[in-house]
């Protein structure tokens, strides 16, 4: 499984720490490769990461900005992407297991406990996607709407 990771300038430090952590735990991690500066804009990172996740079977994405909100909104505009903005392990679990999310967005200024960030990302990566009929039905409804509109 490949993990794509990207951040705006407010998430660079967390992105670097998290990338090292994930690689140390045997995961293939690829930074999306957009340089950061104080004037960068989160949609650029979210759109590129979403396109990369969509284009690579069995991949997931991690986005980091100050709050996680902007990244999640922008990522959810990419066809085929379902992004959860997570501030807890439960958010990460439900985003993947109940909603079939393939990208997680984290706020570097919201979730400042690195151990919690690691636990959220580990949970997101290791949780199976929606399998209960009610969850599968809902995810399929979202996919159908996205295709038709």
Catalytic residue numbers, as ranges: 65, 98
- Type and span of the H or E element at 29: strand 28-31
Burial bucket for residue 134 (CB in 10 Å: 0-12, 13-18, 19+): exposed
Work out whether the CA dihedral 21, 129, 61, 108 comes out positive or negative.
negative
């Amino acid at each position: 499984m490949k993990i794509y990771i990207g951040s705006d300038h407010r998430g660079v430090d967390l992105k670097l720490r998290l990338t090292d952590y994930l690689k140390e735990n045997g995961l293939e991690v690829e930074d999306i490769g957009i340089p950061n500066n104080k004037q960068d804009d989160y949609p650029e990172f979210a759109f590129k990461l979403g396109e990369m996740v969509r284009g690579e079977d069995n991949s997931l994405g991690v986005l980091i900005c100050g709050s996680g909100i902007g990244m999640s909104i922008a990522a959810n505009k990419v066809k085929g992407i379902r992004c959860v903005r997570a501030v807890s392990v439960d958010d990460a679990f439900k985003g993947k297991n109940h909603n079939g999310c393939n990208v997680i967005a984290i706020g570097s200024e919201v979730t400042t406990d690195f151990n919690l960030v690691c636990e959220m990302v580990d949970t997101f990566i290791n949780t199976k996607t929606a399998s209960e009929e009610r969850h599968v039905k809902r995810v399929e409804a979202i996919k159908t709407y996205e295709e038709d509109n």
